[in-house]
Amino acid sequence: MTAPVASVGGHMTAPVASVAGQATAPVASVGGQATAPVASVGGQATAPVASRALATPIAIGAIALLVINDHVLKAIYPGFVTGKLSDFAGLIFFPLLLAAALEQLGLRRGVQTIAIAVLVTGAFFAAIKLSMSAGDIYRVGLAALQWPFRALRAIVLGEGLPLMRPVQLCPDRSDLVALVALGVPIALARRVLDETEPNEAEPDETEPDAAEPDAAEPDAAESDGAVSRR
């Protein structure tokens, strides 16, 4: 069911839809064209929260740190710090990347989607650090993801296609300390929601004006009465 269509200044506004018992944000009209609402399903925002969080400076910085650390810093300063930096950086941005992919597939539940991605990421990270079998799957899977880029580089340089070799992995249970970084994606998602909520509340400012046509009705009735008395 949709809410009644309100009248503002004599013009009809778009109805407010209800999904799973939760009212969605009203559809605003700009230049006669309706804009897309930020809907709510089961009380959760359906806007692409993870995609927005992935575009924040913290998430982009985590991606840059992972690349620089793996390809530059580890070679120059091998040790405990550089060994942990990539783990922290990866656990910051990867849940957002996974959640953004889920959002594109239609699973848009706001922070819930990111929480699911965080749990999956944390479980897999812990598995590759604690289980040899999981580590082997990771080594082969990452090698398969890297191979197309290595092949493209070889083609550009006129070299032969490289073999797909499993990447190196040094299981270290102390790496599990990086799991604390999984709180960052949740915090980024909540910040994105806090920033969008004021914008979604703006259409409510027109609600007092909706009563203006009703206020004019008594004046019309008084005018009719005056005419009849004459």
Q: Is residue 222 part of a domain?
A: no
Q: How many domains does the chain have?
A: 2
Label residue 83 exposed, middle or buried (CB < 10 Å: 0-12, 13-18, 19+): middle
Q: Are residues 54 and 162 in the same domain?
A: yes
Residue 51 near residue 103, CB atoms below 8 Å: yes
Give residue 48's pLDDT.
Answer: 84
Tell me whether residue 226 is in a domain: no
Closest CA to 102 of 50, 58, 178, 44: 50
Residue 228 belongs to some domain of the structure: no
Are both 147 and 168 inside the same structural domain? yes
Q: Are residues 124 and 38 in the same domain?
A: no
Q: Do 61 and 114 lie in a common domain?
A: yes
The domain in which residue 90 lies consists of 47-195
H-assigned helices in the chain? 49-54, 57-68, 74-76, 80-104, 111-130, 132-156, 183-201, 212-215, 217-229
**Same-domain check for residues 111 and 124:** yes
| pLDDT beneath 70, residues of the chain | 1-46, 197-230
64 and 26 within one domain: no
18 shares its domain with 91? no
Residues 24 and 59 in one domain: no
Query: What is the pLDDT at residue 181?
Result: 95
Instruction: State both tokens at 44.
Output: 């959760």
Please tell me whether residues 91 and 113 are part of one structural domain: yes
Q: Does residue 109 sit within a domain?
A: yes
pLDDT for the residue 190: 92
Q: Do residues 165 and 86 share a domain?
A: yes
Statement to judge: residues 16 and 54 lie in one domain = no
Render pLDDT for 156-198 as a digit per residue (tens, 0 to 9).
Answer: 988 888 888 888 887 788 899 999 999 999 999 999 988 876 6
- Residues 74 and 187 reside in one and the same domain: yes
**Which one of 46, 62, 80 terminates a domain?**
46
Q: Write down the pLDDT at residue 168.
A: 80
> What is the pTM assigned to this prediction?
0.62
How much is the pLDDT for 214?
A: 53
